[in-house]
Amino acid sequence: MNSDPLSHNHSRALVLAGGGAAGNAWQIGLIAGLFEAGLDVTSADVIIGTSAGSTVAAAVTSHLTPSELYAAVLTEPRRPAPEGPTATTRPRSPQPSGPAYLDWSNAVIATATDPADMRRRMGAAALERDTSGGADAVRWREVVAARLPSHDWPEQRILITAVDAHTGEPVVFDRDSGVELVDAVAASTSAMTPYRIGGRRYLNGGYRRSENADLAAGSDRVLVLSPFGGRSRMPDDWGMDLATQVAELEAGGSRVATVFPDARAGDVFDANALDPATRGRAARGGYDQGRELAAGSVGELWR
């Protein structure tokens, strides 16, 4: 585990941000659209995944192609399928509804004085809710495991973000962390209840820093997929927002392109983003957008 940005000189980095069920599907669709238009962004030297983006990172570095992942989203049962890249029968998710999660986390954010204080308060509030004796973590692991095409870390370098609920310290998991891929993704996607790995418990990676694009520092070219359009629920002066991260990367010499959903994915990138019913339209919208971007700004950056 590592809590600091990594500055290895990767030539290309792909950043996959959080965005719930809709964001996961949109990113898979967009990557598939790029792929079928001749641009394979999954060939990045490093892929950084946060929350729903961590599931995408694990999926696109598996044995399945972006086209296969996209097709699986489109064939998922409309309900009650949870967010994820495959269409198999899965355990019921123990995660909360979007509105409940936003109400809870917004209340914590409003009491904090800075990012470190916010993470500590978020961790303390989540630990107070952890009354299941580990049962919620077991159920969440089953859900996450069912979503992933492979449970093994890929040879390709991927970074999965989380936050230590006990200390509030940011955490970055990779294949050398001694943590299984399923557990890393389960930690990054945890919401109001922290996820247990050994004697530690972890929170959603989005509380480290929104998209966590700063972890791509040192890369020549950085592509950021941000389902929530670069928005942050944190105060502007905290510097958690994507624009601040992009400015930092560019100041370090990186070329950066950001991609946000357009209207074709649906107006769901808010509390409704956790609703599995959003996935079909979000994926199709991302796919069409990806095919267009391959010949435009993304293609210019990546090739």
Cα angle 204, 230, 262 (rounded to 5 degrees) comes to 115
For the chain, the structural domain boundaries read 12-74+127-302
CA distances from 84 to 31, 117, 122, 139 (A): 15, 32, 25, 15
C-beta of residue 165 within 8 angstroms of C-beta of residue 199? no
Closest Cα partner for 97 from 112, 82, 86?
82
Identify whether the C-beta of residue 21 lies closer than 8 Å to the C-beta of residue 83.
yes
**Whole-prediction pTM value?**
0.91
How many Cβ atoms from other residues are within 10 Å of residue 79's Cβ? 9
The amino acid at 235: P
| Tens-binned pLDDT, residue by residue, of the chain (303 aa) | 544 444 445 599 999 999 999 999 999 999 999 999 999 999 999 999 999 999 999 999 999 999 999 999 999 986 543 343 333 334 445 566 777 888 889 999 999 999 999 999 999 999 998 887 778 889 999 999 999 999 999 999 999 999 999 999 999 999 999 999 999 999 999 988 899 999 999 999 999 999 999 999 999 999 999 999 999 999 999 999 999 999 999 999 999 999 999 999 999 998 889 899 999 999 999 999 999 999 999 999 998
